[in-house]
Structure 1
Amino acid sequence: MHRFSRLKAVLIWVLVVVAVVVAAPNLLSDGQRSKLPAWLAHSHVALGPDVQGGSHLLFQIERADIVKERLERTVADIRGKLRESNIRYTGLTGNDQDVTVKITDAGQVEAAINALSALTASRKSGWFGGSIQNVTLERGTDGQLTLRISKDSIDEGIAAAQAQSLEVVERRIAGLGINDYSVRADGRDRIDVKALGSIDVERLKNILNEPAQLSVRMIDESMSGQQALAGRWPATSEVLYSLDDPPIPYLVDRTDFVTGKNLVDVQAVVDAQTNTVAISYKLDSEGAEHLAQKTRQNIGRHLAVLFDDQVMAAPMINAPILDGTGTVPVSFSEDGAHDLALMLRAGALPATLTTVEERTVSTALGAESKRAGLVAGFVAALLVIGLMFAFYRKLGIITGISLALSLVLILAVLSAIGATLTLPGIAGIVLIIGMAVDANVLVYERIREEAKAGHSFADAIDNGFSRAFLTILDANVTIIIAAVILYYLGSDTVRGFAVTLAAGILTTVFTTFTLTRWIVVTWLHRKHPRHLPRDVQTGIFDRANIRFMGIRRYTFTVSAALSILAMVGFATVGANLGVDFAGGSHVEVKAKQGSADPNDIRARLGDLNIGDIEARRLADASTALVRIQAQGGGENAEQSAMTLLRDELANDYEIRSVEVVGPAVSGELTRAATLGLLGSLAVILLYIWLRFEWQFAIGAIIATLHDIILTLGLFVLTGMEFNLTSVAAILTIVGYSLNDTVVVYDRMRENLKRYRKMPLPILIDASINQTLSRTVLTAATTLLALLALCLFGGEVIRPFAFVMLFGVAVGTFSSIYIAAPVLIAFKLRPDAVDSDQNKKVAEPGTNSGNPAV
Structure 2
Amino acid sequence: MLQIDTWKRVLIWLACVAGLLAALPNAFYTRVEQHNDAVAAIELGADTSENQAMAGQWPNWMPSGLVNLGLDLRGGAHLLAEVKVEDVYEARMDALWPEVRNSLRGERATIGTFRRDPEAPVDQIRLRISKPEGLDQAMQILRGLANPIQTLTGAGANDIEITGSGNTITVQLSDAEKIATDDRTVRQSLEIIRRRIDEVGTREPTIQRQGADRILIQVPGIGSAAELKAIIGTTAQLTFNPVVGRASSAEERAGVGNKVVPSLDQVGTFYVIEAAPVVTGEELVDAQPAFDQNGRPAVNFRFNTSGARKFGDYTLENIGQPFAIVLDDEVISAPVIQSHIPGGSGIITGNFSVEESTNLAILLRAGALPAELEFLEERTIGPELGQDSIEAGRVATAVAFVGVLVFMVLSYGLFGIFANVALIINVCLIFGVLSTIGGTLTLPGIAGIVLTVGMAVDANVLIFERIREEIKAGRGPAKAIDEGYNKALSAIVDANITTFITAVILFAMGSGPVRGFAITLGLGIVTSVFTAIFVTRLLVVMWFERRRPKTIEV
Q: Normalized against structure 2, the TM-score is what?
A: 0.69
Q: Does the alignment pair 1:21 with 2:21?
A: no
Q: Does the alignment pair 1:142 with 2:166?
A: yes
Query: What is the deviation of 1:10?
Result: 3.4
Residue 10 of structure 1 aligns with which residue?
7
2:257 to 236, 239, 255: 236
Rounded Cα–Cα distance in structure 1 between residues aligned with 2:242 and 2:121: 24
Residue 408 of structure 2 aligns with which residue?
388
Gaps of 5+ in 1: 270-277, 296-302, 537-853
Rounded Cα–Cα distance in structure 1 between residues aligned with 2:527 and 2:443: 20
Q: Residues 516 and 224 from structure 1, CA distance in 2 versus in 1: closer, same or farther, beyond 3 angstroms?
A: closer
**CA deviation digits over 1:106-147, x for unaligned, max 9?**
543343234224312437x48x9x967543445554365444
Q: Does the alignment pair 1:212 with 2:233?
A: no
Q: Is the 8 A contact 1:103 1:143 kept in 2?
A: yes
Q: Residues 306 and 422 from structure 1, CA distance in 2 versus in 1: closer, same or farther, beyond 3 angstroms?
A: same
Residue 572 of structure 1 aligns with which residue?
none
2:148 to 122, 127, 142: 122
2:368 to 348, 356, 371: 348
Residue 493 of structure 1 aligns with which residue?
513
Q: Residues 179 and 482 from structure 1, CA distance in 2 versus in 1: closer, same or farther, beyond 3 angstroms?
A: closer
Query: What is the deviation of 1:428?
Result: 1.9
Rounded Cα–Cα distance in structure 1 between residues aligned with 2:8 and 2:221: 41
Q: Does the alignment pair 1:414 with 2:434?
A: yes
1:113 to 129, 133, 139: 139
Rounded Cα–Cα distance in structure 2 between residues aligned with 1:16 and 1:492: 35
Residue 826 of structure 1 aligns with which residue?
none
Q: Is the 8 A contact 2:22 2:433 kept in 1?
A: no
Q: Is the 8 A contact 1:279 1:341 kept in 2?
A: no
Q: How does 1:435-514 map to 2 (within 5 A)?
A: 435-514=455-534
Rounded Cα–Cα distance in structure 1 between residues aligned with 2:498 and 2:300: 63
**CA deviation digits over 1:405-463, x for unaligned, max 9?**
32233334434544322232233223322332122223323333443355555554444
1:66 to 69, 82, 88: 88
Q: How does 1:530-679 map to 2 (within 5 A)?
A: 530-533=550-553
2:70 to 39, 45, 48: 48
Rounded Cα–Cα distance in structure 2 between residues aligned with 1:34 and 1:148: 64
Q: Residues 96 and 453 from structure 1, CA distance in 2 versus in 1: closer, same or farther, beyond 3 angstroms?
A: farther
Q: Residues 34 and 259 from structure 1, CA distance in 2 versus in 1: closer, same or farther, beyond 3 angstroms?
A: farther
Q: Is the 8 A contact 2:247 2:270 kept in 1?
A: no
Code of the residue aligned with 2:511 in structure 1: it is S
SS at match of 1:436: helix
2:320 to 293, 299, 304: 293
Q: Normalized against structure 1, the TM-score is what?
A: 0.48
Give the number of the structure whose alpha-carbon radius of gyration is greater.
Answer: 1
Code of the residue aligned with 2:232 in structure 1: it is L
Query: What is the deviation of 1:500?
Result: 0.9
Q: Number of paired residues?
A: 498
Q: Is the 8 A contact 1:58 1:357 kept in 2?
A: yes
Code of the residue aligned with 1:451 in structure 2: it is I
Rounded Cα–Cα distance in structure 2 between residues aligned with 1:326 and 1:445: 75
After alignment, is 205-214 or 347-356 more displaced?
Answer: 347-356
SS at match of 2:255: coil
Query: What is the deviation of 1:63?
Result: 1.8
**CA deviation digits over 1:38-88, x for unaligned, max 9?**
xx9686644434444544667665422222222222344223311243343
Rounded Cα–Cα distance in structure 1 between residues aligned with 2:182 and 2:467: 62
Q: Residues 258 and 236 from structure 1, CA distance in 2 versus in 1: closer, same or farther, beyond 3 angstroms?
A: closer
Q: Is the 8 A contact 1:388 1:399 kept in 2?
A: yes
Code of the residue aligned with 2:425 in structure 1: it is L
Structure showing greater relative contact order (alpha-carbon pairs closer than 8 Å, 6 or more residues apart): 2
Residue 571 of structure 1 aligns with which residue?
none
Query: What is the deviation of 1:389?
Result: 1.0
Code of the residue aligned with 1:204 in structure 2: it is L
Q: Is the 8 A contact 2:185 2:370 kept in 1?
A: yes
Residue 80 of structure 1 aligns with which residue?
102
Q: Residues 463 and 346 from structure 1, CA distance in 2 versus in 1: closer, same or farther, beyond 3 angstroms?
A: closer
Q: Residues 171 and 455 from structure 1, CA distance in 2 versus in 1: closer, same or farther, beyond 3 angstroms?
A: closer
Q: How does 1:171-320 map to 2 (within 5 A)?
A: 172-173=196-197, 178=201, 180=203, 195=219, 197-215=221-239, 218=243, 234-238=255-259, 252-255=272-275, 261=281, 293-295=320-322, 307-309=327-329
Q: Is the 8 A contact 1:210 1:353 kept in 2?
A: no
Rounded Cα–Cα distance in structure 1 between residues aligned with 2:365 and 2:497: 53
1:95 to 100, 104, 121: 121
Rounded Cα–Cα distance in structure 1 between residues aligned with 2:429 and 2:88: 48
Rounded Cα–Cα distance in structure 2 between residues aligned with 1:459 and 1:344: 70
Q: Residues 80 and 490 from structure 1, CA distance in 2 versus in 1: closer, same or farther, beyond 3 angstroms?
A: farther
Query: What is the deviation of 1:400?
Result: 0.8
SS at match of 1:485: helix
Q: Is the 8 A contact 2:467 2:483 kept in 1?
A: yes
Rounded Cα–Cα distance in structure 2 between residues aligned with 1:192 and 1:352: 15
SS at match of 2:236: coil
Residue 28 of structure 2 aligns with which residue?
none
Q: Residues 369 and 326 from structure 1, CA distance in 2 versus in 1: closer, same or farther, beyond 3 angstroms?
A: closer
**CA deviation digits over 1:199-245, x for unaligned, max 9?**
454233223112122456657778965575xxxx732345778999x
Query: What is the deviation of 1:14?
Result: 0.4
Q: Is the 8 A contact 1:49 1:55 kept in 2?
A: yes
Q: Residues 291 and 354 from structure 1, CA distance in 2 versus in 1: closer, same or farther, beyond 3 angstroms?
A: farther
Gaps of 5+ in 2: 26-31, 37-54, 303-310, 340-345
Code of the residue aligned with 1:6 in structure 2: it is I
Q: Residues 418 and 336 from structure 1, CA distance in 2 versus in 1: closer, same or farther, beyond 3 angstroms?
A: closer
Q: Residues 486 and 82 from structure 1, CA distance in 2 versus in 1: closer, same or farther, beyond 3 angstroms?
A: same
Rounded Cα–Cα distance in structure 1 between residues aligned with 2:325 and 2:185: 24
% identity of equivalent residues: 33
Q: Is the 8 A contact 1:292 1:322 kept in 2?
A: yes
**CA deviation digits over 1:682-732, x for unaligned, max 9?**
xxxxxxxxxxxxxxxxxxxxxxxxxxxxxxxxxxxxxxxxxxxxxxxxxxx
Residue 434 of structure 1 aligns with which residue?
454
Q: Residues 283 and 41 from structure 1, CA distance in 2 versus in 1: closer, same or farther, beyond 3 angstroms?
A: closer
Rounded Cα–Cα distance in structure 1 between residues aligned with 2:535 and 2:277: 73
Residue 445 of structure 2 aligns with which residue?
425
SS at match of 1:495: helix
Code of the residue aligned with 2:439 in structure 1: it is A
Rounded Cα–Cα distance in structure 1 between residues aligned with 2:301 and 2:523: 54
SS at match of 2:320: helix
Q: Is the 8 A contact 1:217 1:258 kept in 2?
A: yes
Code of the residue aligned with 1:25 in structure 2: it is A
Query: What is the deviation of 1:394?
Result: 1.0
